[in-house]
């Protein structure tokens, strides 16, 4: 087991947006209603007839430098040697500070167990030699799971031969979920958020000095 560093590459050129990964995850862990360990963000852009849909499967990034582990006051969340970030269900007091710290919103307070839970990259399956449930279930082989430290593994070859992106690299978390061909707006959290623009009741008083144009 020494010197293994697991990683996931998601090739969005192959993703068809079927949500099978999310369903597999829900059934693997019996994740309660209203919370998700893995989900597919779907965006639609453009004006008819020039329109497209983009997908972004989201899960724990199992960061090299996880903020949740840094901030957990009871060491309930920890990083294994192979890089997987896990949550100790017996030690967690449910202060939810890790949820507030995670830049990817992948942690949640479990409404049934009353602790914080997260995507575990199916460590119970990995330890017996299987792939994570979402990777296993993907019908279009968009997801690749493997050892990043082994240059002969399929994931290393995919990473070496493609241009990849990660989510929010500016947070210095060094994520280990890589995307090929992800849409820029889908990766951005605030981009075109589906909130309505509200009338600004005081801007006309103050002039337009705060109305900057990069809302996108």
Structure tokens, 90: 């017996």
Cβ atoms of 39 and 208 within 8 Å: the answer is no
Q: Which lies closer to another protein via its Cβ, residue 130 or residue 200?
A: 200
Which of 8, 31, 39, 134: binder of another protein (CB under 8 A)?
A: 39
179 binds another protein (CB under 8 A): no
CA separation (Å) from 20 to 52, 131, 139?
A: 21, 15, 8
Which of 97, 136, 164, 165: binder of another protein (CB under 8 A)?
A: 97
Burial of 86 (0-12, 13-18, 19+ CB in 10 A): middle
Choose the stretch contacting another protein; rule: CB under 8 A; options: 28-36, 125-133, 137-145, 156-164. 28-36
- d(CA 186, CA 81) in angstroms, rounded, equals 31
Q: Which lies closer to another protein via its Cβ, residue 59 or residue 135?
A: 59
Q: How far is the CB of 169 from another protein (least distance, A)?
A: 13
Number of residues forming the site for another protein (CB under 8 A): 65
Among 76, 80, 58, residue whose Cα is nearest residue 179: 58
Q: How far is the CB of 137 from another protein (least distance, A)?
A: 18
192 binds another protein (CB under 8 A): yes
Cβ atoms of 43 and 185 within 8 Å: the answer is yes
- d(CA 182, CA 152) in angstroms, rounded, equals 25
Which of 27, 100, 140, 184: binder of another protein (CB under 8 A)?
A: 100
User: Cα-flanking dihedrals φ and ψ of residue 123, to 5°?
Assistant: -60, -25
Structure tokens, 10: 């998601």
99 binds another protein (CB under 8 A): yes
Q: Which lies closer to another protein via its Cβ, residue 27 or residue 74?
A: 74
210: helix, coil or strand? Answer: coil
Among 110, 113, 79, residue whose Cα is nearest residue 6: 79
Number of H helices, E strands in the chain: 8, 9
Choose the stretch contacting another protein; rule: CB under 8 A; options: 7-15, 79-87, 158-166, 198-206. 198-206
Which of 16, 27, 64, 93: binder of another protein (CB under 8 A)?
A: 93
Choose the stretch contacting another protein; rule: CB under 8 A; options: 7-15, 73-81, 143-151, 158-166. 73-81
- Which spans of this chain sit near another protein (rule: CB under 8 A)? 34-36, 39-47, 51, 53, 58, 67, 70-76, 91-97, 99-109, 114-116, 170-171, 185, 188-195, 198, 200-203, 210, 212, 214-216
């Amino acid at each position: 087991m020494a010197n293994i560093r697991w990683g996931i590459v998601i090739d969005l050129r192959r993703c068809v947006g079927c949500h099978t990964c999310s369903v597999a995850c829900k059934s693997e862990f019996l994740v309660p209603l209203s919370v998700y360990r893995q989900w597919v963000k779907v965006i639609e852009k453009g004006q008819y007839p020039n329109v497209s849909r983009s997908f972004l499967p989201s899960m724990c990034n199992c960061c090299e430098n996880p903020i949740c582990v840094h901030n957990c006051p009871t060491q309930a969340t920890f990083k294994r040697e192979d890089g997987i970030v896990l949550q100790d269900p017996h030690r967690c007091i449910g202060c939810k500070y890790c949820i507030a710290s995670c830049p990817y919103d992948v942690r949640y307070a479990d409404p049934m167990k009353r602790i914080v839970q997260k995507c575990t990259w199916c460590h119970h399956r990995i330890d017996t030699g299987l792939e994570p449930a979402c990777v296993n279930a993907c019908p279009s082989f968009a997801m690749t799971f493997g050892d990043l430290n082994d240059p002969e593994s399929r994931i290393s070859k995919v990473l070496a031969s493609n241009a990849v992106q990660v989510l929010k690299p500016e947070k210095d978390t060094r994520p280990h979920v890589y995307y090929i061909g992800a849409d820029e707006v889908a990766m951005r959290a605030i981009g075109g958020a589906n909130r309505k623009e509200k009338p600004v009741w005081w801007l006309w008083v103050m002039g337009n000095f705060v109305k900057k144009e990069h809302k996108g």
